[in-house]
């Protein structure tokens, strides 16, 4: 098994660093040097510094010999940004991206999703799919992913092995579902779901004993496909192990009706999970579109978090999650691609869609059609409140990095450039349009393929980041590191 032992070198990164200071504020650190030790930890962030000064003063302060340090310097149009956190992604659905027709959640699951996931019990197919999924998401700057695999333990273990060897930080969940799936893709009993979950945890412990890079995550698919017995056993396992949990909640109106029918004794959808011990501070709830006030208050009280998946919510017409409302309640929110409910493996795409969906909320009733649980009436909200629904560039980039880190329990460890944090980062490069000689075309710096983002030189740093958010793609993600290890490079 290949190990992720970090880069095993001392490294210094030189240039401009952009990261979130708080929800609505990005910090721009120019002429800065960030030093990363061989374990992948940031050991110095020095302002007003360059490569030369670092060699003369900073390395000595750290007791480093300049000859041992690998130095990376930003070029014009480039900056370092924290790696993205995908708080909700189904690795096993990667082959289906873009294929959803006009389906909605429940028919989408039966038509596209369950057959694809079941087919990954073939390990050769799983290897192809998972390898491509990890490489593709790394290429889009995703340094941490909270993955759903499938119900197959060997196939889930393979996903964990591949994340470790390719160097992506990951939470890997073996999916539990013991009802309402096709007969060929179901756990046989609650006991079987639990013992398979434990086998998956054991495997991850055997390859990464301290969960430095890969962590198991308890994964009841969602309430409609799990019996209360299975969910209660998983809740007990969570209490015993302290492991994180991921599931779906309140994504689709028909799903909510189904939950009401299946769990008549629970107060509401969030109550079902709470009754099973699954609403914990380590729980990631995906979607959370149609929650009632009571449910949001319960989630706040339990400290559970939300993965906002605007691409998926739009593609399979689930609704518009009220991110501002969730944040106002004190609920931690991150972004998820929810591939392949979402058609894109890119968190940058999720971030720009989060911007757009928030504007749709502002243009509509402000609640995305979500009905009040008691009356089933859509409550009108004030024009002011609708305006507040809009998310800024700064806010969605916070959700993509620091916000996501808090959702997956890695707050203070990844998501920013501070001493003590790990170097999970991406080098972003934007096109710089050169002078045009008369009668000649426009050439970009060094002829690299810079994608759709053109800088003309007058843009402020805020403008540059906004241009990247709305027109950037993986061509702008030049290099990616996890725990100091280079895991993707286009240059």
Number of residues that bind ligand GUN (CB under 6 A): 11
User: With CB cut-offs between 5 and 8 Å by kind, which of Fe ion, ligand GUN, none does residue 197 bind?
Assistant: none
CB of 343 to ligand GUN, least distance (A): 12
3-state secondary structure (DSSP) of residue 260: helix
User: With CB cut-offs between 5 and 8 Å by kind, which of Fe ion, ligand GUN, none does residue 221 bind?
Assistant: ligand GUN
Contacts of 334 (CB under 8 A, 6+ apart): 85, 87, 284, 305, 306, 307, 308, 399, 400, 403, 404, 405, 406, 407, 408
For Fe ion, the closer CB: 313 or 426: 313
* Residues 266-325 contacting ligand GUN, CB under 6 A: 312
Query: How far apart are alpha carbons 200 and 152 in whole angstroms?
Result: 9
Using rule CB under 6 A, residue 96 touches ligand GUN: no
CB of 166 to ligand GUN, least distance (A): 23
For ligand GUN, the closer CB: 161 or 338: 338
Using rule CB under 6 A, residue 338 touches ligand GUN: yes
3-state secondary structure (DSSP) of residue 69: strand
Pick from 221, 233, 402, 467 the residue near ligand GUN by CB under 6 A.
Answer: 221
Nearest residue to ligand GUN by CB is 341
Contacts of 373 (CB under 8 A, 6+ apart): 268, 292, 293, 294, 295
- CA 315 to centroid of chain Cα atoms: 18
Using rule CB under 6 A, residue 222 touches ligand GUN: yes
For Fe ion, the closer CB: 20 or 155: 155
CB of 285 to Fe ion, least distance (A): 11
For Fe ion, the closer CB: 220 or 366: 220
User: With CB cut-offs between 5 and 8 Å by kind, which of ligand GUN, Fe ion, none does residue 222 bind?
Assistant: ligand GUN
CB 37 within 8 A of CB 13: no
User: With CB cut-offs between 5 and 8 Å by kind, which of Fe ion, ligand GUN, none does residue 398 bind?
Assistant: none
Query: How far apart are alpha carbons 40 and 483 in whole angstroms?
Result: 4
3-state secondary structure (DSSP) of residue 181: coil
Token pair of 28, please?
A: 């721009």
* Residues 39-68 contacting ligand GUN, CB under 6 A: none
CB of 339 to Fe ion, least distance (A): 8
Query: How far apart are alpha carbons 384 and 387 in whole angstroms?
Result: 5
- CA 472 to centroid of chain Cα atoms: 17
Pick from 10, 19, 90, 324 the residue near ligand GUN by CB under 6 A.
Answer: 90
Around 452, how many Cα atoms within 13 Å sit in the side-chain half-sphere?
Answer: 9
CB of 289 to ligand GUN, least distance (A): 11
CB of 287 to ligand GUN, least distance (A): 7
CB 312 within 8 A of CB 90: no
Using rule CB under 6 A, residue 248 touches ligand GUN: yes
User: With CB cut-offs between 5 and 8 Å by kind, which of Fe ion, ligand GUN, none does residue 81 bind?
Assistant: none
Chain residues that interact with Fe ion, rule: CB under 5 A: 338
For ligand GUN, the closer CB: 117 or 424: 117
Lookup result for tokens 């000064």 = 53
Query: How far apart are alpha carbons 30 and 106 in whole angstroms?
Result: 49
Q: 78-82 and 25-36: which strand pairing? A: unpaired
CB of 248 to Fe ion, least distance (A): 6
Using rule CB under 6 A, residue 464 touches ligand GUN: no
Neighbours of 448 (CB within 10 A): 16
β-pair partners for 158: none
For Fe ion, the closer CB: 208 or 338: 338
Using rule CB under 6 A, residue 468 touches ligand GUN: no
CB of 313 to ligand GUN, least distance (A): 8
For ligand GUN, the closer CB: 338 or 424: 338
Q: 78-82 and 425-429: which strand pairing? A: antiparallel
* Stretch of residues binding ligand GUN (CB under 6 A), selected from 105-113, 159-167, 444-452, 461-469: 105-113
CB 354 within 8 A of CB 396: yes
Contacts of 75 (CB under 8 A, 6+ apart): 429, 445, 446
CB of 56 to Fe ion, least distance (A): 51
CB 430 within 8 A of CB 77: yes
Using rule CB under 6 A, residue 367 touches ligand GUN: no
Using rule CB under 6 A, residue 187 touches ligand GUN: no
CB of 325 to ligand GUN, least distance (A): 21
User: With CB cut-offs between 5 and 8 Å by kind, which of ligand GUN, Fe ion, none does residue 332 bind?
Assistant: none
Using rule CB under 6 A, residue 417 touches ligand GUN: no
Using rule CB under 6 A, residue 113 touches ligand GUN: yes
Query: How far apart are alpha carbons 481 and 145 in whole angstroms?
Result: 14
DSSP assignment of 264-325 equals TTSSSHHHHHHHTT---TTEEEEE--S--HHHHHHHHHHT-EEEE-HHHHHHTT-----HHH
For ligand GUN, the closer CB: 54 or 116: 116
| 153-166 vs 123-139: helix crossing angle, rounded to 10 | 40
Query: How far apart are alpha carbons 231 and 274 in whole angstroms?
Result: 10
The footprint of ligand GUN (CB under 6 A) covers 90, 105, 109, 113, 221-222, 248, 251, 312, 338, 341
């Amino acid at each position: 098994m290949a190990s992720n032992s970090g880069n095993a070198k001392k490294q210094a990164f030189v240039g401009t660093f952009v990261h979130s200071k708080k929800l609505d504020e990005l910090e721009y650190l120019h002429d800065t040097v960030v030093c990363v030790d061989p374990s992948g930890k940031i050991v110095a962030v020095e302002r007003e510094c360059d490569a030369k000064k670092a060699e003369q003063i900073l390395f000595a302060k750290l007791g480093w010999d300049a000859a041992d340090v690998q130095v990376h310097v930003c070029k014009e149009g480039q900056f370092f940004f924290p790696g993205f956190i995908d708080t909700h992604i189904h690795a096993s659905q990667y082959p289906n991206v873009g294929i959803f027709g006009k389906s909605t959640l429940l028919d989408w699951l039966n038509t596209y999703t369950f057959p694809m996931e079941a087919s990954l019990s073939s390990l050769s197919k799983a290897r192809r799919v998972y390898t491509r999924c990890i490489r593709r998401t790394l290429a889009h700057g995703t340094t941490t992913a909270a993955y759903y695999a499938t119900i197959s333990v060997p196939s889930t273990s393979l996903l964990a092995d591949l994340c470790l060897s390719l160097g992506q930080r990951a939470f890997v969940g073996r999916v539990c579902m013991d009802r309402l799936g096709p007969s060929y893709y179901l756990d046989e009993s609650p006991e079987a779901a639990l013992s398979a979950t434990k086998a998956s945890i054991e495997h991850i412990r055997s390859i990464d004993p301290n969960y430095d890079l890969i962590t198991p995550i308890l994964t009841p698919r969602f309430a409609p496909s799990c019996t209360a017995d299975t969910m209660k056993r998983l809740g007990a396992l969570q209490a015993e192990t302290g492991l994180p949990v991921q599931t779906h909640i309140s994504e689709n109106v028909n799903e909510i009706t189904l939950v009401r029918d299946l769990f008549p004794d629970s107060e509401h959808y969030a109550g079902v999970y709470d009754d099973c011990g699954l609403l914990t501070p380590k729980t990631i709830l995906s979607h959370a579109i149609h929650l009632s006030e009571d449910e949001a208050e319960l989630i706040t009280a339990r400290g559970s978090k939300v993965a906002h998946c605007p691409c998926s919510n739009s593609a399979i017409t689930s609704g518009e999650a009220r991110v501002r409302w969730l944040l106002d309640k004190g609920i931690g929110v991150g972004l998820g691609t929810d591939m392949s409910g979402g058609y894109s493996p890119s968190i940058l795409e999720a971030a720009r869609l989060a911007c757009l969906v928030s504007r749709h909320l502002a243009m509509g009733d402000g609640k995305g059609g979500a009905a009040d649980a008691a009356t089933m009436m859509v409550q009108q909200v004030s024009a002011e409140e609708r305006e507040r629904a809009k998310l800024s560039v700064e806010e969605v980039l916070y959700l993509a990095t620091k916000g996501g880190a808090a959702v997956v329990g890695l707050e203070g460890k990844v998501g920013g450039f501070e001493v003590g944090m790990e170097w999970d980062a991406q080098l972003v490069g934007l096109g710089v349009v050169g002078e045009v000689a008369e009668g000649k075309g426009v050439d970009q710096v060094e002829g690299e393929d810079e994608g759709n983002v053109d800088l003309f030189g007058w843009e402020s740093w805020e403008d540059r980041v906004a241009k990247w958010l709305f027109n950037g793609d993986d061509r702008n993600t030049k290099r990616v590191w996890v725990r100091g290890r280079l895991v993707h490079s286009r240059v």
